[in-house]
Structure 1
Amino acid sequence: MEEDPERLPFWRRFSEGERHWPYALAVAAMIGLQVALPDRYNLGAWWALPGVEVIIVVLLVAANPRRLERRTRALRRLSLMLIAVASLGTAWSVFRLVEELTSGHGAGSAAELLGSGAAIWLINVLTFAVWYWELDRGGAPARAAGTDPYPDFLFPQMTSPGMVPGHWRPQFADYLYLAFTNATAFSPTDTLPLSRWAKLTMMLEAAISLVTAALVIAKAVNALG
């Protein structure tokens, strides 16, 4: 028996797909930051992982040139591959930064350290924003179709439908805000994780952010002193 659309929560009803440019812009910023990092923070050649990311983004945009509505297994796998590649580069950069800070070798000047640490922290935020956006309720096309009844993140607009227009849906900017506030507060702020994967992923992001910020600030203060 099919569900009555009028009885569904407003965020589960069919809607237009998101425009891809906010997501593509965030990935482009992530790639730019990766390229700008010193070579020692890159996994392999400086162009290797960014090059793969660019190719995947171009394919995804070509498949959905206007709005993210087309859903196929191949596109889903491409999206997950992009997350995996970006996460691999982020993990390596964080590992190399922590290794340098704890060993005291090769960290460079205080200014270089602060710059690299800030770039890696921001890459971490962008990476997890893409994670949240791609995995919540099966990704943007699935959210537009309203196929998954169980949200992974509870946005405040979902509990106060009278405060937002009926066409409101969580889009990339909402997930970017979620990733940024989680990285700065080291805990959920206005958006709550509901599924176990969402809780564990937010916990991992907060842990990486805390370790990165604490070590970079401590090392920079010590170098300036």
Structure 2
Amino acid sequence: MSDPREPMHLSRPAANPERRWPMAAAVITSAVLTLLLPDDLRLGPRWALPLVEGLLLVALVSADPVRISRRSARLRGVAITLVCVMAVGAFWSTVRLIDDLIHGGKETGSASALLLAGGSVWTSTVLVFSLLYFELDSGGPAARAHHMPRTPALAFPQHLSPELSATHWRPRYVDYLYLGFTNSTAFSPTDVMPLAAWAKIAMTVQSVISLAILGLVIARAVNVLV
């Protein structure tokens, strides 16, 4: 029997839980991109970050497989730690890449090597920010599966125009991936509006990072080709 003092929406089972595999695929893709980076763009040994990310992912999948529906402070801490580890690696690679572009590194002498390294770093930042939005918006995927707040941190078109959404609609990882991609290419919000202060700051930081990577990489690659 549920505690009568517990809010009704907390005692109900998850209505629309998120599948685990899209989030897991994003983590695995990021780890593979880390393995493919040149040594001077990677934080630590080649195996270090992918190993840590893999162990954290295994812990999440083991405790809450298939669908993300288990609300647990410990699991949420593991998920946020995983995103933080990925973010540290991506930011380090971004800083190292920008430094190489400014001062001339090993990758800057070949347009193909430069585009490959720049594309890997840029893609990693997109994945990191998509997972950041995914984990922080409205308390995370497990919380969203049980209850959507009236004022989410990120307002999707379905929030702004409820008549366009299905009953019990919840944003999925693909929605946050799309947000991360469009914010990295348009350098500004497109169809998703940041409402919370942290979301505005995160989207600003992502736009600045993306602009720096794309601008410097393309400019340097054109210079090498010419």
TM-score between the two structures when normalised by the length of structure 1: 0.92
> In the alignment, which residue of structure 1 is the partner of 2:94?
94
Structure 2 unmatched runs, 5+? none
SS in 1 for 2:58: helix
> In the alignment, which residue of structure 2 is the partner of 1:133?
134
Matches within 5 A, 1:118-197: 118-146=119-147, 148-197=149-198
Q: Does 1:56 find its partner at 2:56?
A: yes
Stretches (4+) displaced over 4 A: 1-5
> In the alignment, which residue of structure 2 is the partner of 1:116?
117
Question: Quick check: 2:37–2:120 contact (8 Å CA) kept in 1?
Answer: yes
Question: Quick check: 2:114–2:217 contact (8 Å CA) kept in 1?
Answer: yes
1:81-105 deviation digits (Å, cap 9, x = unpaired): 1011000100110011000000123
> In the alignment, which residue of structure 2 is the partner of 1:10?
none
Query: How much does 1:150 deviate?
Result: 2.9
CA distance, structure 1, for counterparts of residue 38 and residue 104 of structure 2: 17
1:178-222 deviation digits (Å, cap 9, x = unpaired): 000000000000000000000000000000000000000010011
TM-score between the two structures when normalised by the length of structure 2: 0.92
Over the aligned positions, Cα root-mean-square deviation in angstroms equals 1.8
CA distance, structure 2, for counterparts of residue 128 and residue 19 of structure 1: 19
Query: How much does 1:49 deviate?
Result: 0.7
The 3 A distance-change label for structure 1 pair 147 and 161 is closer
% same residue: 46
CA distance, structure 2, for counterparts of residue 67 and residue 214 of structure 1: 39
Question: In structure 1, what residue type is equivalent to 2:63?
Answer: A
CA distance, structure 1, for counterparts of residue 196 and residue 223 of structure 2: 41
Structure 1 unmatched runs, 5+? 6-12
- Number of aligned residue pairs: give it: 218
CA distance, structure 1, for counterparts of residue 101 and residue 90 of structure 2: 17
Q: Does 1:221 find its partner at 2:218?
A: no
1:80-130 deviation digits (Å, cap 9, x = unpaired): 110110001001100110000001232341110011001111101000000
The 3 A distance-change label for structure 1 pair 72 and 133 is same
